[in-house]
Every structure is written in structure tokens, then in C-alpha cells.
Amino acid sequence: MSVEADITERELTHPWEGVLIAPVHGSEVGVLVLAGSSGRVERERARILARQGFAALAIRWFGGPGQPPGICEVPLETFTAAVDLLRLGGARRIGVLGFSKGAEAALLTAVHDPRVDVAIALSPTSRVWCNVGPGRDGAHHPYRSSWTWRERPLPFVPMDDSWAPAEPDSGPVAIRGWYERSERTFARSLASAEIPVETARADLLLVAGGDDAMWPSLPYAEQLAQRRRSVGATVRLIARDDAGHRQRLPGESPAPASPRFRYGGTPEADALLGRAAWPYILDALGDGRAAADGR
């Protein structure tokens, strides 16, 4: 796919806000593109994928009309409905590409929907976490699951609110330690909250940076890969020890600075990780050859 395809864009307003961007001549490969906890519609990433020949559907999956105001008990049916739309549009191969909390959603969608052929998780977690932001009733606490399936909340790990950053008044904060402390505090919750990727029919591609300051995505990715290997399932892990939470794919704009959070890595390392992962992303979406066991 060295020649970029001409693309068309169709705005969506129901059942979710989003955009469907596809080659003008169509595609037999559809990919659902999910942002993280920003809640935005990943238009730029969808355009880049569409120019490579894929029908890319980017949606807002919380914070919109009729949706939870935060990442709290979001129905996984939100994503299976998006798979429905891609299939109706003629896609025979389905991918789900998610970043951070969107990676959590991508993995869970692959576990629960056998129509997903490949799940691509950028800066993933290996387990279900509690809500980020307010719930459906506007309340932050008590903690609840981020997700439901068939109206039942998935088991989850809460956050330990006794954690505090080492330097709380020095600017943007790294919250990786909050997740690591919560795992120790709620160790009994870990097993039931694990994402059972070993049961997914989909191929699995993981991308993570060892200097991630948001959560320990590389150890999480290694846990996911190990569970896949334990049952002989396909997996590939692309990693750089010096990259952070926000790897950038070729053609994407630099990630903006945040006044609240430290993400780790450097712009150079994050771009190098995205560049290293890019051919495997294209290959996995195209025909799955990249799913042979890696790292």
C-alpha cells in the first residue's frame, strides 16, 4: 500500500458522533479507531488509515448525547454496533485499533465479538479498571467498572485514593505510580479483572513504551502477550524502552503538551516507536501476516 488512496468522509451523528473515512473505491477491510480518555473522535488517525486503503470508523464512545458522561459502565455493545456498521459497508476483515483506555476497549471487544479479526492495542492495560470521571448518574464515587457487557458490569480494579504524587505542586503529574499502588492495594481484584485475551479469536498486536508515565503499559503488554503464548495464540509486541504513553504514527501531528499529566518518553522516541509499529499495523489489518509471534 505504498500509493495513498483518495478518500471520502461521512459525518455520523447517530447512534454516536463520529466519522467514516474510506477509500473512494471502497475497502474490504474496516477498522474501528478508538481514542483514549480524551473522548475525542480520532479523525487524523482515521484519515491516515483510510489513505492506506482501509475503511476507518472513528467514534465518540463516551461524553456524547445518550452516553455516560465519563468512562463508567460504557456498554461494549457500543463497539460491536460499530463493527455492525463496518460489516454493512462491505468490510470482510475487521480490525479494532485503540489507544490507552481505547486499547482496553479494543481488547475487550475482540474478546466478546468473534467477528473481530485483529485487535491493535496502543499503550494497553492487561486488566479492566474502574471508571475515569463521573458515572451515568454524575457521581465519581464509589468506583464502578469502566465497562458492561449485556448490561452486566465487568469485574474491575478500583483506584487507591490514598496515593499522592511525590511532587504535587511542580506541574504535570505522572500517575503511573497510582496504578501500581492500586494493584498492590487491591491485589485480590486482579485475577477477576484480567482481560482474557487468550480466548479471543482475533490476532493481537501490542505497542508499548517502557517509559510510559501514565500507567505501566509495557509490563501490561508483556502480560497480555504471555497469556496469548500460554495457549499458542498469535501475538506480536512492538516496544521501545525509551518511549512513553503517546506513540505517534507516521503522518500524525506531534502530541500536544498537557498541563495536567506527564506521559513519559520524548517526541523523538514516541515517533520512532510509532514508525516501528506502522508496517506491522498495516500488515495486520491487511492480511494478518504480522500476527506471527514476536518480541
Domain membership of residue 255 (yes or no) is yes
Q: What cell does 35 get?
A: 481514542
Domain membership of residue 254 (yes or no) is yes
Residue at grid coordinates 485475551: 197
**How does residue 290 score in pLDDT terms, banded at 50, 70 and 90?**
very low
- Non-local (6+) Cβ contacts of 222 within 8 A are 237
Domain membership of residue 107 (yes or no) is yes
Q: pLDDT tens digits, residue range 55-100?
A: 999 999 999 988 999 999 999 999 999 999 999 999 999 999 999 9
Share of the chain above pLDDT 70, in %: 96
- Non-local (6+) Cβ contacts of 194 within 8 A are 126, 127, 128, 227
Cα–Cα distance between 201 and 268 in angstroms, integer? 35
- For the chain, the average pLDDT equals 94
Q: pLDDT tens digits, residue range 16-59?
A: 999 999 999 999 999 999 999 998 999 999 999 999 999 999 99
Please say if the pLDDT value at position 273 is more than 50.
Answer: yes
Domain membership of residue 241 (yes or no) is yes
Domain membership of residue 1 (yes or no) is no
**Alpha helix segments (H runs only) across the chain:** 43-51, 77-88, 101-112, 176-185, 187-193, 217-230, 267-286
Report the pLDDT value the prediction gives residue 168, as an integer from 0 to 100: 65
Cα–Cα distance between 9 and 29 in angstroms, integer? 16
Q: What is the pTM of this model?
A: 0.95
Report the pLDDT value the prediction gives residue 5, as an integer from 0 to 100: 87
Domain membership of residue 2 (yes or no) is no
- Give the residue among 73, 77, 76, 64 at the shortest CA–CA distance from 16: 64
Q: Which helix (H) or strand (E) holds 56?
A: strand 55-59
- CATH code at 23? 3.40.50.1820
Cα separations in angstroms, 78 against 16, 60, 66, 233, 281: 9, 10, 11, 26, 23
Report the pLDDT value the prediction gives residue 138, as an integer from 0 to 100: 85
Report the pLDDT value the prediction gives residue 166, as an integer from 0 to 100: 80
Q: pLDDT tens digits, residue range 156-199?
A: 999 999 999 887 667 899 999 999 999 999 999 999 999 999 99
Residue 97: beta bridge partners? 33, 120
Mean pLDDT of 224-235: 97
**How does residue 288 score in pLDDT terms, banded at 50, 70 and 90?**
very low
What is the count of structural domains for the chain? 1
Burial code (b: 16+ CB inside 10 Å, e: under 16) for 52-71 equals bbbbbbbbbbbbbeebbebb
> 178 is in which domain, residue-wise?
7-291
Report the pLDDT value the prediction gives residue 2, as an integer from 0 to 100: 54
**How does residue 1 score in pLDDT terms, banded at 50, 70 and 90?**
very low
Q: Considering only 2-6, 102-106, 119-123, 150-154, which range has the smallest mean pLDDT?
A: 2-6
